[in-house]
Structure 1
Amino acid sequence: MRFVPTRLHGAVDYLWGGLLLLGPRRLGLPPGSAEARVAQAAGAGAILYAALTDYELGLIPALNMRQHLALDVAGGAALAAAPLLLGSLPHRRAPLLGFGLFAVAAGLLTRTRPEHGPRRRLAAR
């Protein structure tokens, strides 16, 4: 059941991405650590593909919502798995695991069509 509106999802995308991009220290991740770099890369990527999504808060409609949500699920799963793959210390695991699981849930619970309907996507002509 998908009940999260795409407009709310868009606002959360930018907030979520910004927190990961700018807040590793606030999340308890040492600056320059592998976990901090993963968090920052995930945040930057999320902001980028949010801006490229055809929804209310997107800037350039290059991706449709289904593609965006697939990226959320895949990226969230990778982010949640990152602490295990990096061999992170137990106290450094929670932020990436939490943000990753949140992204998976958002990807599974958000509606696949924006309220405004699809805009004209970029097409190679």
Structure 2
Amino acid sequence: MRFLSTKIHGVLDYLSGVLFIASPWLFGFNDGGAAQWLPMVVGFSILLMSLFTEYELGVMKSIKMTTHLNTDLIVGLFLAASPWLFGFAEVVYLPHLVFGLIEAGAGLVTKREPSYHPNRI
């Protein structure tokens, strides 16, 4: 069931991108290791992808919404599993797990077609 509009998804993209980048300092795992860098890289990727997505808040509009949502799902699952994949679960895992599941969930519940269409006047 897809109930989240692409416009709301766009707002969440920009907010979550910034939150993911800041999360190592907000939650105290800014030790320079994989636990710190993974959410930061994902956050920057979210912001960059959002700028290029073909939806209301995209600037360049060259990435299809379906590609964006599929990427959200894959990256979210990767982020959720990252504490165990990279061996830092004993240090910190909850922010990565929660943020990853939220990212994956957003990819599953967002409408696949934006109300914005570049060919409409």
Name the TM-score class by shorter chain: over 0.9
Maintained 8 Å contact 1:69/1:107: yes
Aligned 1:15-94 pairs, distance under 5 A: 15-94=15-94
Work out the CA distance in 2 between the residues paired with 1:49 and 1:107: 13
Q: Counterpart of 1:123?
A: none
**Long gaps (5+) in structure 2:** none
CA RMSD of aligned residues (A): 1.2
Q: Counterpart of 1:9?
A: 9
Q: Deviations over 1:23-58 (max 9, x none)?
A: 311023123121110010000001000111000000
- Taking only the aligned residue pairs, the percentage that are identical comes to 36
Report SS of the residue matched to 1:25: helix
TM-score, with normalisation over the residues of structure 2?
A: 0.92
- Specify the code of the residue in structure 2 equivalent to 1:15: L
Correspondence 1:102 to 2:102 = yes
Work out the CA distance in 2 between the residues paired with 1:89 and 1:54: 36
Report SS of the residue matched to 2:116: coil
Shift of 1:22: 2.5
Work out the CA distance in 1 between the residues paired with 2:84 and 2:31: 19
Work out the CA distance in 1 between the residues paired with 2:101 and 2:91: 17
Q: Deviations over 1:87-107 (max 9, x none)?
A: 114451000011000011000
- Specify the code of the residue in structure 2 equivalent to 1:95: P
Work out the CA distance in 2 between the residues paired with 1:46 and 1:27: 20
Runs of 4+, deviation exceeding 2 Å? none
Work out the CA distance in 2 between the residues paired with 1:89 and 1:110: 30
Work out the CA distance in 2 between the residues paired with 1:91 and 1:12: 28
Report SS of the residue matched to 1:80: helix
Aligned length: 119
Work out the CA distance in 1 between the residues paired with 2:92 and 2:9: 27
Maintained 8 Å contact 1:78/1:100: yes
TM-score, with normalisation over the residues of structure 1?
A: 0.90
